[in-house]
């Protein structure tokens, strides 16, 4: 019997948000075991939040992740406002969409240009790629900086922003600030369009996999903060019905909970959103994609990088639209009165749906909190994709090629360990 | 190339705030100085490259561990990673997405490196979630300020000589 053990260990690194390992065992030409282990900080935060005031929740949850703090704030404020019966009004609603545009742009641009693209273009890392494609990398970093500018516009700083609160925002930017930002974003629209066309032209592995896409869906808009939870397998539920269909469970090999839909893996994130909401994109954003040979819905998980580029284009377009209509409000937030209850928030983080449930006491302090982040939802799907991808590539391929494909598949989902997987140590035992 | 930029790397967690706290201190003291650009960040990317790309001198302030008592300040001159003189300890400083040595390599590839790049690393103690600076790390701030101001003054003198 031939047996290959492929062990990929990710060391714990300062300020790298996540720890992971991939264990792959091959016996008799078949995969005997495949386990992706991810440690996720949000599990600790659920306990941190107990006993804290509702007012602290947005700022505390923002610190779960340096890349998607806005998502944590948005799911939290919507859940808490649903308990207090708050209607925050059209200005707050628009600004929360704008805030999210910034986060998608910075997160997606970072992932495309510094993490994923070297895999697709055959470089060991981003600096090596930048020597050959300096213009494209400069463009990507410029887009990332624009995303940060949007977050700073409303949140004072781009990482762990502090502007969001229950009821709205702590501060309303001036008309002049809005006009300045609008013009910078408008000028970058051609860059985003060019990015979509460039990514669509990449030589990606031709893969056809069966998987369920899950995302929010709104009656009119491409989803950020509102909508029903839908899938391409017929799911169509309110966000408070999550527990009736999705099940979190512990796997012995991981400290992160796995989440399944009716017992099966599913995909969340940009490609799932695009598969389910393509008709919600404005014609100006659909146009460059329609000029390519790629059709949607796509069953090729490698199209996630393209979906990120499309969403950068959309988020820029939407941000310009929102800023064109910007008016200074009479107040940036509405007053709230705490009361006891249970509330739910589900918004579209860059990596997919981020579901929160809070039980608050009469004084607005947290009795219990539950946070289901996108990475844990994608975990079973990543394992499924790894299994299919490696079998399709051929288990007899050289170790380096297998490792490279494994890393590419994992990074493609932009999990919170994607940064750490640049440091994968590989130990291979063949017997 | 002209001017100096000061970059505080960190997070809101305990002693890991040191880079941010230092920049906030400068903001309050020398805000009128147009030749000085200040930036705080937790992740490395476009913002940082934009800030330092035309600078004569860029100074990064960050938390470090493992080479002294809390509050000890180390000055390290940074160059692209292929230079073997870059201390190995620098490579442990990483962030979500890209680490500092990789960002320096990236900046070099894009022609966006400042003329000189310095790291002032402050030995830290506990990076407690949401905590404030510990006493020994806070006590390092006056000395760090003097050292950084001396670097800025020397860079300006050099500019005038040129």
CB count within 10 Å of CB A184 equals: 15
CB count within 10 Å of CB A320 equals: 20
For residue B40, what pLDDT is reported? 85
A258 vs B94, higher pLDDT: A258
Choose among A110, A138, A140: nearest Cβ to B97: A110
For residue B160, what pLDDT is reported? 60
Query: How far, in whole angstroms, is CA A50 from its chain's centroid?
Result: 26
A191 vs B86, higher pLDDT: A191
Q: Give ∠ CA B52-B56-B162 in degrees, rounded to 5.
A: 165
A268 vs A415, higher pLDDT: A268
Choose among B43, B50, B109: nearest Cβ to A134: B109
Picking from A11, A12, A14 by the largest number of B CB atoms within 10 A of its own CB, the best residue to mutate is: A14
pLDDT band at A335 (very low <50, low <70, confident <90, very high): very high
CB contact under 8 A, A134 and B12: no
B96 touches chain A (CB under 8 A): yes
Query: How far, in whole angstroms, is CA A7 from its chain's centroid?
Result: 27
B33 vs A95, higher pLDDT: A95
pLDDT band at A2 (very low <50, low <70, confident <90, very high): very low
Distance CA A113, CA A123 (A): 12
Distance CA A77, CA A44 (A): 19
Asked whether A315 and A105 are in contact (CB, 8 A), the reply is: yes
B108 interaction partners in chain A (CB closer than 8 Å): 127
Question: Among the residues of A325-413, which ranges form H helices?
Answer: 374-393, 399-412
Phi, psi angles (nearest 5°) of residue A296: -120, 150
Kindly state the average pLDDT of the residues A190-196: 97
For residue A39, what pLDDT is reported? 57
**In sequence order, what are the residues at sequence separation of 6 or more whose Cβ sits closer than 8 angstroms to the Cβ of residue A161?**
A62, A69, A70, A73, A99, A151, A152, A154, A155
pLDDT band at A425 (very low <50, low <70, confident <90, very high): very low
pLDDT band at A43 (very low <50, low <70, confident <90, very high): low
ipTM of the complex: 0.71
Pairing of strands B36-41, B4-9: parallel
pLDDT band at A9 (very low <50, low <70, confident <90, very high): very low
Render pLDDT for B77-106 as a digit per residue (tens, 0 to 9).
887 765 444 444 443 334 445 678 778 888
For residue B66, what pLDDT is reported? 75
Distance CA B38, CA B34 (A): 10
Render pLDDT for B20-61 as a digit per residue (tens, 0 to 9).
999 988 887 765 566 788 888 877 777 788 888 888 899 999
Kindly state the average pLDDT of the residues A198-219: 94
State yes or no: pLDDT of A420 exceeds 80. no
Kindly state the average pLDDT of the residues A56-78: 87
Tokens representing residue A64 in the block: 């779960």
CB count within 10 Å of CB A93 equals: 16
State yes or no: pLDDT of A212 exceeds 90. yes
Asked whether A411 and A418 are in contact (CB, 8 A), the reply is: yes
Half-sphere exposure of A150 (CA within 13 A, CB side): 33
**In sequence order, what are the residues at sequence separation of 6 or more whose Cβ sits closer than 8 angstroms to the Cβ of residue A4?**
A24, A25, A26, A395, A399, A428, A429, A430
A399 vs A96, higher pLDDT: A96
CB count within 10 Å of CB B38 equals: 18
Sign (positive or negative) of CA dihedral A260, A263, A265, A269: negative
State yes or no: pLDDT of A100 exceeds 90. yes
Distance CA A411, CA A396 (A): 23
B95 touches chain A (CB under 8 A): yes
A67 interaction partners in chain B (CB closer than 8 Å): 43, 96-97
Question: Among the residues of chain B, which ranges form H helices?
Answer: 18-29, 46-52, 100-109, 135-138, 141-161
Show the beta-strand stretches assigned E in A18-173: 19-27, 30-39, 164-165, 168-169
CB contact under 8 A, B94 and A60: no
State yes or no: pLDDT of A422 exceeds 70. no
pLDDT band at A48 (very low <50, low <70, confident <90, very high): confident
For residue A192, what pLDDT is reported? 98
Kindly state the average pLDDT of the residues A75-101: 97
For residue B93, what pLDDT is reported? 39
Distance CA A119, CA A124 (A): 7
For residue B106, what pLDDT is reported? 87
Interface of B with A in 7-66 (CB under 8 A): 11-13, 16, 40-43, 45-47, 49-50, 65
A100 vs B45, higher pLDDT: A100
B159 vs A275, higher pLDDT: A275
Average pLDDT, rounded, for chain A: 87
CA distances from A31 to A24, A68, A253 (A): 7, 35, 17
Question: A334 burial class (0-12, 13-18, 19+ CB within 10 angstroms)?
Answer: middle
Asked whether A366 and A356 are in contact (CB, 8 A), the reply is: no
């Amino acid at each position: 019997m031939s047996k290959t053990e492929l062990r990929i260990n990710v060391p714990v690194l300062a300020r790298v948000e996540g720890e992971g390992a991939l264990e792959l065992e091959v016996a008799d030409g078949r995969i005997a075991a495949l386990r992706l282990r991810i440690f996720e900080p949000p599990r600790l935060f659920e306990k941190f939040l107990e006993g804290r005031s509702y007012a602290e929740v947005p700022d505390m949850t923002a610190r779960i992740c340096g890349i998607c703090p806005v998502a944590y704030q948005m799911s939290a404020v919507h859940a808490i406002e649903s308990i207090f019966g708050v209607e925050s009004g059209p200005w707050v609603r628009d600004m929360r969409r704008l805030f999210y545009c910034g986060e998608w742009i910075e997160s997606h641009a970072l992932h495309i240009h510094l993490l994923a693209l070297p895999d697709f273009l055959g470089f060991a890392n981003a600096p090596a790629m930048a020597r050959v494609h300096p213009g494209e990398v400069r463009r990507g970093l410029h887009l990332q900086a624009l995303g940060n500018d949007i977050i700073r516009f409303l949140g004072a700083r781009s990482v762990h922003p502090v502007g969001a609160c229950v009821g709205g925002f702590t501060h309303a930017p001036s008309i002049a600030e809005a006009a300045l930002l609008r013009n910078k974003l408008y000028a970058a629209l051609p860059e985003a369009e060019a990015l979509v066309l460039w990514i669509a032209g990449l030589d990606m592995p031709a893969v056809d996999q069966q998987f369920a896409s899950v995302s929010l869906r709104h009656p009119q808009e491409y989803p950020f903060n509102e909508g029903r939870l839908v899938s391409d397998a017929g799911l169509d539920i309110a966000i408070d019905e999550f527990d009736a269909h999705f099940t979190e469970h512990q796997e012995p090999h991981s400290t992160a909970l796995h989440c399944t839909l009716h017992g099966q893996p599913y995909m969340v994130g940009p490609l799932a959103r695009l598969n389910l909401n393509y008709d919600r994109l404005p014609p100006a954003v659909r146009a460059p994609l329609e000029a390519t040979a790629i059709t949607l819905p796509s069953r090729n998980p490698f199209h996630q990088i393209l979906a990120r580029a499309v969403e950068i284009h959309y988020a820029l377009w939407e941000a310009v639209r929102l800023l064109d209509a910007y008016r200074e409000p009479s107040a940036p937030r509405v007053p709230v009165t705490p009361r006891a209850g249970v509330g739910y928030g589900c918004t579209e983080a860059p990596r997919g749906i981020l579901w929160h449930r809070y039980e608050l006491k009469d004084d607005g302090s947290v009795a219990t909190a539950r946070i289901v982040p996108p990475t844990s939802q994608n975990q079973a799907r990543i394992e499924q994709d790894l299994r299919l991808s490696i079998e399709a590539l051929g288990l007899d391929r050289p170790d380096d090629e297998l490792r490279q494909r494994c890393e590419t598949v994992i990074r493609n989902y932009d999990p919170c360990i994607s940064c750490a997987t640049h440091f994968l140590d590989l130990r291979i035992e063949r017997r | 190339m002209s001017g100096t930029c000061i970059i505080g790397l960190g997070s809101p967690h305990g002693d890991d705030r040191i880079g941010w706290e230092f920049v906030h201190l400068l903001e309050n003291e020398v805000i009128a100085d147009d030749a000085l650009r200040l930036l705080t960040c937790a992740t490395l990317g476009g913002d940082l490259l934009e800030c330092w790309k035309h600078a004569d001198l860029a100074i990064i302030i960050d938390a470090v561990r493992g080479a002294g008592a809390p509050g000890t300040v180390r000055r390290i001159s940074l160059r692209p990673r292929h230079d073997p003189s870059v201390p190995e300890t620098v490579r442990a400083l990483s962030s979500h997405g890209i680490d500092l040595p990789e960002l320096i390599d990236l900046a070099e590839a894009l022609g966006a490196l400042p003329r000189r790049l310095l790291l002032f690393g402050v030995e830290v103690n506990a990076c407690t979630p949401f905590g404030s600076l510990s006493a020994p790390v806070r006590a390092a701030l006056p000395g760090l300020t003097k050292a950084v101001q001396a670097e800025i003054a020397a860079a300006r003198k050099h500019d005038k000589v040129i």
